[in-house]
Amino acid sequence: MRSRQRCWSRPAAAKLCVVAVAAMVCLPVACGEFPFQVGDSQRPIGSATKVIPATEPAAVLSNLVYCFDDQKSNLLIEQMTDDFTFVADPVDVAALEQTYPGIFNDWNLDVESQVTQYMLDAGRCTFASLSLSNETLLEQPTDTTYAGQLDYGIALLLDSDSQTYMGQARLYMRKLSSNLWRIYRWEDIRPQDAQFNTWGILRGRIRATL
């Protein structure tokens, strides 16, 4: 990840980063189980050092990881279609709507852009890391459509508060007339007995502050 200016010393920042990442691994083990079922393959997805042309679905996934880790919110949003929609897990909807009625309603690209820019803004987010793994196809891909489910893990140091998020995402993509692939639908999934908050919870809470 490219070096960025921090408001504290490099050793302190590195220590916080290690703590955040370690929490994603160690806490579920301490609870005696992982918050989601892991598959046979746990190879992380996304190893690019820059945004690459999304000429195939795998490139979109790689770009997501790079843009998140390097806090390039505008480039991350470019991996989505103009008619993008986000669908939160029903459990998360029920939990947040008790306090914020309708918080997940009409979640389009504009909402996603606002939430993502807030989340990855360098002024409040000083560390961000996304991992994607265990890709499972939901249906047979075609030349222009893709549907896959992945496990995700997030470590964030947001407003000096270290948080971790885990869950699963169902990503639906299509190839545009430009021959580039984009995500048009994101369905967030809270695995049964999950010990962590999901990306959906994070999205909802951020939107409530905007």
Q: Which tops the pLDDT comparison, 38 or 161?
A: 161
Question: Domain 10-209 carries which CATH code?
Answer: 3.10.450.50
Q: Tell me: the pLDDT tens digits for 187-196?
A: 999 998 888 9
Q: Tell me: the pLDDT tens digits for 40-73?
A: 345 567 666 799 999 999 999 999 999 999 999 9
User: What stretch of H or E contains 182?
Assistant: strand 181-189
Instruction: Say if residue 27's pLDDT is above 90.
Output: no
Phi first, then psi: give them for residue 198, nearest 5 degrees.
-95, 170
Q: pTM of the predicted model, to two decimals? A: 0.80
Contact 165, 202 (CB under 8 A): yes
Instruction: Say if residue 124's pLDDT is above 50.
Output: yes
Instruction: Say if residue 180's pLDDT is above 50.
Output: yes
Q: CA–CA separation, 88 vs 190, rounded Å?
A: 9
Q: Give residue limits of the domains in the chain.
A: 10-209
